Amino acid sequence: MTNKTVLHAKHLASGAKMVDFHGWEMPINYGSQIEEHNAVRQNAGMFDVSHMTIVDVQGTDAKSFLRRLVINDVEKLKVAGKALYTGMLNEAGGVIDDLIIYFFSDTNYRLVVNSATREKDLAWMTKQSTGFDITITERPEFGMIAVQGPQAKAKVATLLTTEQNAAVEGMKPFFGVQVGELFIATTGYTGEDGYEVIVPDTAAEDFWQKLLDAGVAPCGLGARDTLRLEAGMNLYGLDMDETVSPIAANMAWTISWEPTERDFIGREVLTAQKAAGDQPKLVGLVMEAKGVLRSHQKVVTAFGEGEITSGTFSPTLGHTVALARVPRSVKVGDIVEVEMRKKLVKVQVTKPSFVRNGKKVF
């Protein structure tokens, strides 16, 4: 069965080309993926991300449950609305999913997880909740729209009430606030300024239309992928999955090792991996010559083989970029080879981040 988001009709009205995305019929583009990409880098674009799964975790033990469930430590969250990015691991230290957790109080958190992993995420969370006094509530009655780009906030501001504008004024990155019927967060998946807005299904179409009228370009999953890859952000299922350690997926920064007595799932395995120092790592690859690096191409280095996890043409840079998992001894600045169409071509190793706020960053 194919799911449709609350904005499905709006996509068709804008001429979207629809594709199946893990059981959801979603827009891949509205004509030109590259023009949509550029709209986000230069002005403002919006994405329907209503397929993503919102899960509220509430109750007396909400904090202690999340301190066990994920590798980052929600104890760090002290200010209402503050969010953190993290991973949820299995006992073997593999990534079940990556997610964002918003903190409202020690007994009230909101999680946003991937749609492709919805069922296993919910099953895992439910299983792990045994013994904790919490409720886990999926919130399918909301749509979600990501408005991104240097002009995104200004354009959204024209649609907000005075009260809403006051609430988001000066809001730092990685915060969210519920004001009126909207939950407005300074998060995103593009490397640009902007908001992710959670809106009740009943108001979603109207909000989307007002954004269109304000000159925000509708953007599909194609542009979403090139934007996140330029920004060096992981895509679950490509850059990491249940067989991959967060240490091998550029997610070590989301692991909170202190305090040492916090017993999060996967801790033992990660501690051993860290001590052994033998996990591969995720790096960036850049090639200025013609051609496009693609997922699953083999990488040949002086220290052994690796693999491209995500690759694309970067519209902002005008050449190809990729994320690749390679042996840990490979260094930024090294030249390695990629097997492309049966030939080995030389590429440069960079940090796994290419574009932020419209500018090259490597």
Q: Which of 313, 326, 338, 349 binds other proteins (CB under 8 A)?
A: 313
For residues 39 and 148, give the distance between their C-alpha atoms in angstroms, rounded to a whole number.
Answer: 9
In the shown chain, the binding pattern of residues 219 to 258 toward other proteins, with x for contact by CB under 8 A and - for none, equals: ---x---x--------------------------------
For residues 162 and 61, give the distance between their C-alpha atoms in angstroms, rounded to a whole number.
Answer: 36
Closest contact distance (angstroms) between CB of 4 and other proteins is 22
For residues 240 and 90, give the distance between their C-alpha atoms in angstroms, rounded to a whole number.
Answer: 13
Contacts of 356 (CB under 8 A, 6+ apart): 191, 231
Q: Which of 292, 317, 345, 361 binds other proteins (CB under 8 A)?
A: 292
Mark the segment that binds other proteins (CB under 8 A) among 124-132, 134-142, 284-292, 322-330. 284-292
Q: Which of 187, 312, 316, 350 binds other proteins (CB under 8 A)?
A: 312
**Tokens in use for 337?**
């080879």
User: Which CB, 39 or 112, lies closer to other proteins?
Assistant: 39
Q: Which of 78, 290, 342, 343 binds other proteins (CB under 8 A)?
A: 290
Q: Give yes or no for residue 294 binding other proteins (CB under 8 A).
A: yes
Helical H runs in the chain? 8-13, 33-42, 62-69, 118-128, 152-157, 162-168, 201-213, 221-230, 267-276
For residues 232 and 283, give the distance between their C-alpha atoms in angstroms, rounded to a whole number.
Answer: 9
User: Which CB, 99 or 233, lies closer to other proteins?
Assistant: 233
Q: What are phi and psi of 23, to 5 degrees?
A: 90, 0
Q: Give yes or no for residue 291 binding other proteins (CB under 8 A).
A: yes
Residue count, binding to other proteins (CB under 8 A): 15
Closest contact distance (angstroms) between CB of 15 and other proteins is 13
Mark the segment that binds other proteins (CB under 8 A) among 52-60, 65-73, 192-200, 288-296. 288-296
For residues 111 and 99, give the distance between their C-alpha atoms in angstroms, rounded to a whole number.
Answer: 7
Characterise 343 by phi-psi region: left (phi > 0), alpha (psi -120 to 50), beta (else): beta
User: Which CB, 317 or 361, lies closer to other proteins?
Assistant: 317
- Residue 351 C-alpha from the chain's centroid: 18
User: Which CB, 127 or 341, lies closer to other proteins?
Assistant: 341
For residues 306 and 180, give the distance between their C-alpha atoms in angstroms, rounded to a whole number.
Answer: 49
In the shown chain, the binding pattern of residues 29 to 68 toward other proteins, with x for contact by CB under 8 A and - for none, equals: x--xxx----------------------------------
Asked if residue 184 lies in contact with residue 199, where contact means CB atoms within 8 angstroms, the answer is: no
Q: Give yes or no for residue 316 binding other proteins (CB under 8 A).
A: no
Closest contact distance (angstroms) between CB of 221 and other proteins is 11
Q: Give yes or no for residue 342 binding other proteins (CB under 8 A).
A: no
Asked if residue 299 lies in contact with residue 310, where contact means CB atoms within 8 angstroms, the answer is: no
Closest contact distance (angstroms) between CB of 216 and other proteins is 20
Q: Please give the residue ranges that form the binding site for other proteins (CB under 8 A).
A: 17, 28-29, 32-34, 222, 226, 290-292, 294, 312-313, 341
